[in-house]
Amino acid sequence: MKFPAKIKLACALVSALLPLLPVRAEISVPVATKPDAQWKNFTARTLDDLPALAPDAGIDQFGGLLGRTENATGFFHTAKIGDRWWLVDPAGGLFLNAGVASVKTIAAPGAELVLDKNFGNKSGWALATAELLHTNGFNGTGAWSEDDFLSAAKPHLAYTRLLGFMAGYGKIRGGTHMQPGHVGYPNDCIFVFDPQFEKYCNDYAKPLAANKNDPWLLGYFSDNEMPFPKHALTNFLALPETDAGHLAALKFLQSRHGASATVHNVTAKDESDFLAFVAEKYFSTVAHAIKKYDPNHLFLGSRFYAVDIAKPELFRACGPFVDVVSMNYYRAWTPDAATMQMWARESGRPVLITEWYAKAADSGLANTGGAGWLVKSQRERGIFYQNFALGLLESKVCVGWHWFRYSDNDPEEKGVDPSNRDSNKGIVNNRYEPYAPLLATMKSLNEKIYSLADYFDHAESASADKRLPGEKGD
């Protein structure tokens, strides 16, 4: 696909002027992991470190580019153009998904009173919230959002649905438990080898047929943060001898080391290969169920999390079955380019970052829960947003991100898991008041995501063109 002449000219001018621009001193941000942890200074890159770029123009109703289109299917799909991955919106516009997760009302007495006073009801809240997101440059919502109310509001936003194939099956089967942020399983062993799991997935997916003609649905997450442990084979072998997972692991081990093999025969390669075997079994089963009843929408993966980031076998195993790899990406101040390239290379798929955030000490909340960074102020949360999002755009493999989350935790809210009790994660506080310094900084980047993608694409191309004859890249 050829870039319009105006874009090519603008990028050429940026490249020519870049050496003449003043270099701004790096921003240093005090950062901690917890309130009682040591504060360390991290450097951050923001829009101020780049040439001035005009806000994106020519945006279609879905948030994609009117002037740069691929095949319009009526639904979101993926495309790799040159060396950059894109989403393509239902109208055919190239699309990058800037979203917010957990866009929902707050189930606490004080917040409910505020909702009634300020919005009247949930429909009024949805209308105001859709406008808030749209005004600040967001074009979608992530997991745990109240889609029924938001889908009736305008402006419309692309949305995702979080399913629970394994979590739902585990609730019926028994044996699961709640951990911070996700469901836990015995020995970190999911129930993928249970004979009843495949039928459960088929029955669970049947209602998805009702969504198959909805153009605003981006796609489905099949589960959230399931365990894919490094020592999967050892863990499965430690299950009770009659458990289907134990039997599958024993059969796998004996096929490699003979009928008398025990856990003492397990090698590192056995562990890696069995982990891939578990993942392939899971992703093939749920993908078949999803596509059987809704062939039109993207399968966005199972929302991997921090412990999974360095397991190439996991990404190879899921790649044939997902359309996009989803990752809840924590403990990184700046996305690691090599790691993200590995995810895309091994899976053959683009990446969607489905959770990330920073919380601030000026919020008045205790901030003891959650995996996000702790900074001093709302402005510094915005600096982190820009620093991280710029790294995602520069990677060329990331097709979007979902900030976690819409509202702060409310200590009055009962029944939530330990990671969501007392922390400043929201773009609004737990009384629906927006954080203006954070949102202003988010907006200034969100409204330039396509210009920034072009900038990074052209900057790399210009750098390559300036190499001396015979000089190779790193």
H, E, C per residue of 94-136: EECEEEEECCCCCCCHHHHHHHHHHHCCHHHHHHHHHHHHHHC
Alpha-carbon span 215 to 179, nearest angstrom: 35
DSSP state of 154: S
Q: Domain limits of the chain?
A: 29-56+98-444
Look at residue 474 and give its three-state secondary structure. Answer: coil
| Per-run averaged pLDDT (10 residues), the chain, 474 residues | 44 44 72 97 98 97 97 98 98 98 98 98 98 98 97 97 98 94 96 98 98 98 97 98 98 98 97 98 98 98 95 98 98 97 98 98 97 98 98 98 98 92 98 98 98 93 48 36
Q: For 142-187, what is each residue's pLDDT tens digit?
A: 999 999 999 999 999 999 999 999 999 999 999 999 999 999 999 9
Structure tokens at 455: 């900038």
Q: Are strands 159-162 and 177-179 parallel, antiparallel or unpaired?
A: unpaired
Structure tokens at 73: 């299917």
User: What is the CATH number that goes with domain 29-56+98-444?
Assistant: 3.20.20.80
pTM for this entry: 0.92
**What is the phi/psi pair of residue 88, to 5°?**
-120, 125
**What is the phi/psi pair of residue 302, to 5°?**
-120, 15
Q: Which amino acid appears at position 449 of this protein? A: I
